[in-house]
């Protein structure tokens, strides 16, 4: 029993050390946001000496942060919902509706994941300009409503649903729409929750596209607004960290709420 016990202790030590390394930057961010006048050269502390909310107050005084948070929430929520709809419908077609060239089309669609977004910025901007969507929420949302990753993730989940359920529903007179809504979607909820978290995270943290498409300061998103807090010669790190903490809270809450579904969805889809 000595070797298994020693191996288990060593495993726990490695896991604890790794957890501390991962958590420390977040703890330091919170502590810095509660320490007025803190800088990068300040010795990191787990407990602030004179905690104060003045960095948060100054943050909302310098930037219309409530409006910025609302902008980010609006864009992220709408984009996430549309991604769920488009990805689920496309995944159902690829998984349940055979047609000539389905496999080749699916592979070609997945290949678009290898194209860097930076390559698409110029044509996307030209397209949005033609449509008159520059400096609009629609222009910020439209390029994000469909993703190859979402289609792949949900297709993998749908293929795990027994096809016998579709056949039984067809015998009862159900069409594709009813099968999709009443049978497929309820059975792939873990995969849908996983995609929702990934989609929300990507949109919430998106910087380059909102920076280009949204010109009005009142329409800025959180990542863009945070960069405006960095001065050319000096930066108030306590205020910047306060903004970072606020930007982390929605994602943390969403992950805690959907953690169980994320694990089930990733395991069910065969992703590592």
What pLDDT score does 232 carry? 46
CA distance 173 to 188: 22
Q: pLDDT, tens digit, for every residue of 197-225?
A: 889 989 998 988 999 999 888 888 988 88
Given a cut of 70, the residues of the chain with pLDDT beneath it are 1-3, 40-45, 231-234, 261-272
What pLDDT score does 199 carry? 92
What pLDDT score does 41 carry? 66
Query: Tokens 């298994």 appear where?
Result: 4
What pLDDT score does 118 carry? 84
Lookup: tokens for 183? 């049978």
What pLDDT score does 233 carry? 46
Residue 85 DSSP SS3: helix
Please state whether the predicted TM-score (pTM) of the whole model is above 0.85: no
Q: Note whether 228 and 160 are within 8 A (CB).
A: no
β-sheet bridge partners, residue 235: 230
Measured N-to-C along each axis, helices 237-269 and 148-159 cross at an angle, to the nearest 10 degrees, of 30
Mark out the alpha helices in 131-221 (DSSP H runs): 137-141, 148-159, 163-171, 176-179, 185-187, 189-204, 208-213
Q: pLDDT, tens digit, for every residue of 1-44?
A: 566 888 888 899 999 999 999 988 888 888 888 888 777 666 66
What pLDDT score does 272 carry? 44
Lookup: tokens for 199? 């989609």
Question: Positive or negative, the Cα torsion across 158, 159, 165, 169?
Answer: positive
What pLDDT score does 234 carry? 59
What pLDDT score does 231 carry? 64
């Amino acid at each position: 029993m000595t070797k298994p016990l020693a191996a288990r202790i060593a495993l726990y030590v490695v896991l604890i050390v790794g957890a501390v390394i991962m958590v420390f930057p977040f703890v330091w961010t919170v502590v810095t946001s509660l320490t007025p006048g803190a800088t990068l050269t300040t010795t990191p502390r787990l407990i602030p000496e004179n905690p104060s909310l003045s960095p948060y107050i100054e943050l909302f005084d310098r930037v219309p942060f409530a409006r910025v948070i609302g902008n980010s929430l609006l864009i992220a929520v709408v984009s996430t919902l549309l991604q769920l709809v488009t990805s689920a419908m496309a995944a159902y077609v690829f998984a349940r509706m055979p047609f000539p060239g389905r496999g080749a089309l699916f592979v070609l669609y997945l290949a678009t994941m290898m194209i860097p977004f930076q390559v698409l910025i110029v044509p996307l901007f030209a397209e949005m300009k033609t449509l008159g969507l520059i400096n609009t929420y629609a222009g910020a949302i439209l390029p994000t409503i469909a993703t190859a990753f979402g289609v792949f993730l949900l297709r993998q989940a749908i293929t795990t649903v027994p096809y016998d359920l579709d056949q039984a529903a067809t015998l009862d007179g159900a069409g594709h729409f009813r099968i999709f809504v009443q049978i497929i979607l309820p059975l792939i909820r873990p995969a849908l929750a996983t995609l929702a978290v990934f989609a929300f995270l990507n949109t919430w943290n998106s910087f380059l596209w909102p920076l280009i498409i949204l010109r009005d300061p009142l329409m800025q998103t959180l990542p863009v607004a945070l960069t405006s807090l960095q001065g050319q010669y000096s930066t108030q790190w306590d205020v910047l960290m306060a903004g970072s903490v606020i930007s982390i809270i929605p994602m943390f809450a969403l992950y805690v709420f959907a953690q169980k579904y994320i694990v089930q969805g990733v395991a069910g889809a065969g992703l590592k």
